[in-house]
Amino acid sequence: MTPRRLGYDGVVLAAPVTVPYERFSTRSAHWFLGRAMRALVESSGLEKQAIDGLCVTSMSLAPDTAIGMVEHLGFQPRWLDNVTFGGASGMIALRRAARAVQVGDAEIVACVAGDTNQTDSFRRGTAAFSQFGQDAVYPYGSGGPNASVALLTDNYMRTYGAELADFGRICVAQRANALGNPQALFSKPLTLEQYLKSPLIADPIRLYDCVMPCAGAEAFLVMREETARAEGLPFARLVGAIERHNAFPDDPVQDRGGWIVDREELFAQAGVTPEAVDFVQAYDDYPVIVFLQIEDLGFCGKGEAKDFLAGHDLTTTGSFPINTSGGQLSVGQAGGAGGFLGIVESIRQLTGQTVGTPVPDAKIGLVSGFGMINYDRGLSTGAALLAA
Amino acid sequence: MTMDQRPHRNPALPPRRPTTPPILRSRFALGLTAAAASGRFALQECLDCGAIQYPPREACHCCLSDRLEWRPRDGAGTLLAVTCVRKPYETYFRERAPWRTGIVRLDCGVSVVAYLHGRCAEPPARVRVRACLDRAGRAVLAALPDKDVTDMTDDPLMREFSNSPKGRHVLVTDGTSEIGQAMAIAAAEAGAETVWVGASERWKAAPGFEALSTIPQVTLLPLDVTDTQSVDTLAGQIGGKVDILFNTAEFHRTHSALSRRGVETARVEMEVNYFGLLRLAQAFGPAMSARAAEVPTNAVAWVNVLSVFALANYPSQGTFSASKAAALSLAQCLRAEFRPAGLRVLNVFPGPVDEAWNQTELPPKIAPRRLAADVVRALEDGLEDLFPDPVARDWYERWRADPKVLELELTA
């Protein structure tokens, strides 16, 4: 069946901003969202009220949602959305915002994700993450996402013969990428030996397989190309985007994601093949999830990510740059902002506004999101292709 | 009195405060616990399309029907993935880490996250999944090896779910009855380190009482549950050491409301069966709660020998039924109050027991030795409710189906 979906022609992303990350913060999510909105206004030079659409992601904003932030920050948008899909939030926010500016429901949409992190917030967030989680996962040793992804990793290793060092290669390369990024919480090099010797958290997952929860925010603007040109804003074009939820519910253990279902359409929208991609910002809550994305987005076959990645230099200036800012594994995971990190970094790379090392001659970037381990698997997947 | 051979807690250190696993479950998930409380593993099944559901839910994931019913499953499945959680978030788990968990694909077509018995083979391995009550009294799934292995119950995980008398100090509140004697013997045979056996009026004891004292672990002590001072005195002596309390004290007569004038007999039934439990709870409960975390020599369980007549009145033993119903109600209260400490209340609901006061009851009647063996087994399995014999199970099934219909049957 031929998809009858309208393309994303004419939609662009601009004004990549990051509110510096902190391991713990006494500030609320409201503060981080407020700083991000201020940074968007300042960096874009737009009047505050020119932003007439708002899409808010936060996992620590309760009892507020997007509507609370509108009054808190004094906006009068004509389009508003609240997107809380964990690591898939960035992809979903982008797709919603793109359609809004395409049809004229809004002229300029701010997509903003911010979270705080207090000393006990991760445990509390995990304990009450979902009803299935509360009923059928958290009472089993309360290992949180570490334990859930450990089971996926164990199954993946048994099924496809991947080894720890295969995963470690990603962590080591991303740390090298992070060394050029002053906003990364991890600023020391990481060797494969250090990775392999790091303490076990939930077998086979070790310390450096896990992201560090932190506070921070990421944001960007979505508008039509002519708006960006009129405002004189450097932009990246959205040339393809997909999302999928609860794909393959009958798989006994998750070893693939919904990207497989939609990847053909993603590349068809953009009129390119995976070979044309200059860098990949993959959702890296754990290395095994990066493996799934590399395979399911069509860079290699199922189970072949270890060989594919081993055949490449994964650093920013390498043959297959992954997570060029360092990714969540080295920058930190600021809650829902973790799903925005790759988008913001892609805009920087494609508009020549990099904070760290630029990918040489980058024309097309792929960003991917993954999230919502509601029970035993991540339900939400999304991906987008951005072009300079 | 038996000397305490177990290691003593260092008095200079603060006592270990009881912690429990997460207790929160959705209302629709509690069906798993309700089944596990009496040792059953049940999953929701769609009455319209037959699909099995897990985790528990409100609507069928296949046909969206809301007609989901909890039905027993055999738990057979294949272990596909394992992990060992070394850094849990919750204090209870941190204190006992690591925890081995896995994903099991049940043959009925759902994947479950489950704890793993230490003897489960490497994936892919055939396993049996059963539902156990954790220290919060909530059901969790555990995968056991496909076939029984030796020392099955000595696994640390199984010990955590179990309330076995092995190595523990137990008190049987009344050893003068056949049930009390059987319970004391069964506890000793199950490896209890100390068995204290209470008796109020030894001259009234059933044959076999004096022979109890020939069992090495057994010590006979004066205890009259109708006398607050007697209960408090014994609690002062051994209350800080009791790990499992078997309340076998029972006054049993076979009267209906109209078969006898006066309330004296009924009052004694209430004094023993209801107020006796309340006195014991107030005297022994707080110390047992406080010691619930002193693993491995911790207080673990409280056993009430009730009667299936507690569920619905059996008119030929009408006043006895009423006293047991009162005791059941109080036991539910006790369960709520013991929950934060992780102390299990095991309620035992026998049908007619084969003893003198049930002379005119027709068989089947459960023998005291059999009853006691079932109680020990229920403790080892970590149960909360035990219906040990065919009559009890029959009543329970009818009661669950419709308590009003059972009442109509009993009053016919």
Instruction: Give the Cα separation of B169 and B189 in Å (integer).
Output: 13
Contacts of A374 (CB under 8 A, 6+ apart): A129, A130, A132, A133
> Quick check: B195 and B217 in contact, CB under 8 A?
yes
State the best of A140, A246, A253 to mutate against chain B, taking most chain B CBs within 10 Å.
A140
The minimal CB distance from A136 to the residues B81, B113, B115 is found for B113
The minimal CB distance from B22 to the residues A127, A150, A204 is found for A127
> Quick check: B141 and B110 in contact, CB under 8 A?
no
**Do the bridges between strand A235-245 and strand A378-387 make them parallel or antiparallel, or are there none, so unpaired?**
antiparallel
**Do the bridges between strand B68-72 and strand B139-145 make them parallel or antiparallel, or are there none, so unpaired?**
unpaired
Q: What does the buried/exposed string (b/e) look like for A29-57 if buried means 16 or more CB atoms within 10 Å of the residue's CB?
A: bbbbbbbbbebbbebbebeeeebbbbbbb
Q: Other C-beta atoms within 10 Å of A286: how many?
A: 26
Q: Nearest CA to CA, how far is B151 from chain A (Å)?
A: 23
Q: What is the DSSP letter of B149?
A: -
Instruction: Give the Cα separation of A240 and A9 in Å (integer).
Output: 9
* Closest listed residue to residue A283, CA positions, set A269, A296, A273, A274: A296
> Quick check: A106 and A383 in contact, CB under 8 A?
no
Contacts of A164 in chain B (CB under 8 A): none
The minimal CB distance from B86 to the residues A134, A137, A202 is found for A202
Q: Do A205 and B83 touch (CB under 8 A)?
A: yes
- Give yes or no for a cis peptide into B296 (omega within 30° of 0): yes
Q: Other C-beta atoms within 10 Å of A230: how many?
A: 10
Instruction: Give the Cα separation of A65 and A56 in Å (integer).
Output: 8
Separation of first and last alpha carbons in chain A = 31
CB proximity under 8 Å: B 80-139 to A: 80-90, 93, 97, 99, 101-103, 105, 109, 111-115, 123, 134, 136, 138
Residue in chain B closest to A375 (alpha carbons) equals B55
* Closest listed residue to residue B375, CA positions, set B357, B351, B349, B352: B349
Interchain CB contact of B55 with A (< 8 Å):
yes
**Do the bridges between strand B125-133 and strand B139-145 make them parallel or antiparallel, or are there none, so unpaired?**
antiparallel
Contacts of B50 (CB under 8 A, 6+ apart): none
> Quick check: A12 and A228 in contact, CB under 8 A?
yes
Q: Nearest CA to CA, how far is B8 from chain A (Å)?
A: 29
Contacts of A252 in chain B (CB under 8 A): 80, 103, 105, 111
pLDDT score, position A59:
94
Q: Looking up tokens 């005291």, which residue turns up?
A: B368
Dig out the tokens for B354 from the structure.
């084969």
Average pLDDT, chain B: 94
Dig out the tokens for B230 from the structure.
């007697």
Beta-bridge partner residues of A220: A111
Interchain CB contact of A310 with B (< 8 Å):
no
Strand order in the sheet with B244-247: B218-222, B194-199, B169-172, B244-247, B301-305, B344-348, B385-386
Please give the C-alpha separations between residue B230 and each of A227, A232, B173, in angstroms, as whole numbers: 89, 91, 12
Please give the C-alpha separations between residue A255 and each of A280, A296, B81, B342, in angstroms, as whole numbers: 20, 10, 12, 38
* Closest listed residue to residue A222, CA positions, set A71, A61, A334, A384: A384
Residue in chain A closest to B115 (alpha carbons) equals A140
pLDDT score, position B4:
54
> Quick check: B52 and B44 in contact, CB under 8 A?
yes
Dig out the tokens for B229 from the structure.
């001072």
Contacts of B61 in chain A (CB under 8 A): 249
pLDDT score, position B196:
98
* Closest listed residue to residue B136, CA positions, set B322, B275, B299, B341: B341
Q: Nearest CA to CA, how far is A141 from chain B (Å)?
A: 6
Interchain CB contact of A129 with B (< 8 Å):
no
Beta-bridge partner residues of B304: B247, B347
Instruction: Give the Cα separation of B260 and B319 in Å (integer).
Output: 11
Give the SS3 label for residue B372: helix
| CA–CA–CA angle A132, A56, A266 (5° rounding) | 80
* Closest listed residue to residue B233, CA positions, set B223, B248, B246, B241: B223
Please give the C-alpha separations between residue B334 and each of B269, B325, B338, B344, B382, in angstroms, as whole numbers: 20, 14, 6, 10, 17
DSSP string computed for B268-328: HHIIIIIIHHHHHHHHHHHHHHHTTTSTTS---EEEEE--GGGTS--GGGHHHHHHHHHHH
Complex ipTM > 0.90: yes
Instruction: Give the Cα separation of A247 and A258 in Å (integer).
Output: 5
Instruction: Give the Cα separation of B350 and B354 in Å (integer).
Output: 10
Q: Nearest CA to CA, how far is A134 from chain B (Å)?
A: 6
* Closest listed residue to residue B163, CA positions, set B142, B145, B137: B137
Dig out the tokens for B48 from the structure.
């319209």
In the predicted model, residues of chain B with pLDDT beneath 50 are 1-3
Q: Do B82 and A151 touch (CB under 8 A)?
A: yes
Contacts of B31 in chain A (CB under 8 A): none
> Quick check: A216 and A116 in contact, CB under 8 A?
no
DSSP string computed for B184-250: HHHHHHTT-SEEEEEES-GGGPPTTTGGGGGSTTEEEEE--TT-HHHHHHHHHHHTTT-SEEEE---
Dig out the tokens for B292 from the structure.
């619930």
- Per-residue pLDDT of B186-237, as tens digits, reads 999 999 999 999 998 877 888 889 899 999 999 999 999 999 999 999 999 9
| A195 membership: H or E segment, kind and range | helix A192-197
Contacts of A205 in chain B (CB under 8 A): 83
pLDDT score, position B349:
98
Show pLDDT as tens, one digit a residue, over chain A (388 residues).
Answer: 555 789 999 999 999 999 999 999 999 999 999 999 999 999 999 999 999 999 999 999 999 999 999 999 999 999 999 999 999 999 999 999 999 999 999 999 999 999 999 988 888 888 888 999 999 999 999 999 999 999 999 999 999 999 999 999 999 999 999 999 999 999 999 999 999 999 999 999 999 999 999 999 999 999 999 999 999 999 999 999 999 999 999 999 999 999 999 999 999 999 999 999 999 999 999 999 999 999 999 999 999 999 999 999 999 999 999 999 999 999 999 999 999 999 999 999 999 999 989 999 999 999 999 999 999 999 999 999 999 9
Dig out the tokens for B370 from the structure.
């059999």
Q: Do B101 and A376 touch (CB under 8 A)?
A: no
State the best of B25, B26, B83 to mutate against chain A, taking most chain A CBs within 10 Å.
B83
pTM equals 0.94
Q: Nearest CA to CA, how far is A130 from chain B (Å)?
A: 11
Contacts of B25 in chain A (CB under 8 A): 134-135, 139
Please give the C-alpha separations between residue B258 and each of B182, B255, B261, in angstroms, as whole numbers: 34, 8, 7
Q: Do A136 and B21 touch (CB under 8 A)?
A: no
Q: What does the buried/exposed string (b/e) look like for A134-156 if buried means 16 or more CB atoms within 10 Å of the residue's CB?
A: bbbbbbbbbbbbbbbbbbbbbbb
State the best of B23, B113, B117 to mutate against chain A, taking most chain A CBs within 10 Å.
B113
Instruction: Give the Cα separation of A304 and A195 in Å (integer).
Output: 22
Find the length of chain A: 388
Q: Nearest CA to CA, how far is A37 from chain B (Å)?
A: 33
Amino acid identity for residue A278 in this structure = D
Q: What does the buried/exposed string (b/e) look like for A360-375 if buried means 16 or more CB atoms within 10 Å of the residue's CB?
A: eebebbbbbbbbbbbb
Q: Nearest CA to CA, how far is B144 from chain A (Å)?
A: 15
Q: Nearest CA to CA, how far is B124 from chain A (Å)?
A: 9
> Quick check: B302 and B291 in contact, CB under 8 A?
no
Q: Nearest CA to CA, how far is B109 from chain A (Å)?
A: 8
DSSP string computed for B270-283: IIIIIIHHHHHHHH
Q: Do A140 and B81 touch (CB under 8 A)?
A: no
